[in-house]
Amino acid sequence: MTMLLGDVFKNSTFKFFMLLLSAGLIIIGMVGLLFSIFLYPTLVPYYGGGERFLIFDNSVEYPLYSKSKLCFEVSSNATVIVAVDSEDVEEGLEVSYCVDAGEHLLRIRSNEPAEGFINFRQEPPRIWLLFYLLLLIIGSASLSETIKRRSG
């Protein structure tokens, strides 16, 4: 059995296939990690990475939904009161707050006309990060083993 595996590893077609498979796993792992860390946080359902708001009649509301922790930052040209799920969170020209996964209602109130922007960021699911990291590790180990066997 050991001799048979040794013969398989000596086959240049198998080595080439293993190099391609290893490189593919490394590429998928890297692209997945980059997507999860840099792009996914800006893909908040319904709003993307941010939303402009105008307040004329006292308040504006934004229903929020996220499968992971969601943070937002409200910037305005006038003092605003930010409430999440009917509870006032903070008041000011710039307000930052985070909510846990689930459905929430964000309300921004002001006693005067206000204009501003909300930046949204959500945490990537940890299982994604672990999966892509595992692909990267398996691809790297496989590539290292293939190169070692190729030279030997």
Domain ranges of the chain: 2-39+126-151, 44-122
Residue 151 pLDDT: 65
Whether this model's pTM surpasses 0.85: no
According to DSSP, the residues that pair with 96 across neighbouring strands are: 73
Task: Say if CB 115 and CB 142 are below 8 A apart.
Answer: no
Residue 19 pLDDT: 87
How confident is the prediction along the chain (152 residues), in pLDDT tens digits per residue? 444 555 555 677 878 888 899 999 999 999 999 999 999 988 888 788 889 999 988 899 999 988 889 999 999 999 999 999 999 999 999 999 999 999 999 999 999 999 999 999 999 989 999 999 999 999 999 888 878 876 65
Structure tokens at 111: 């006693």
Task: Say if CB 9 and CB 85 are below 8 A apart.
Answer: no
Residue 1 pLDDT: 45
Which fold, 44-122? Answer: Jelly Rolls (2.60.120)
Residue 7 pLDDT: 57
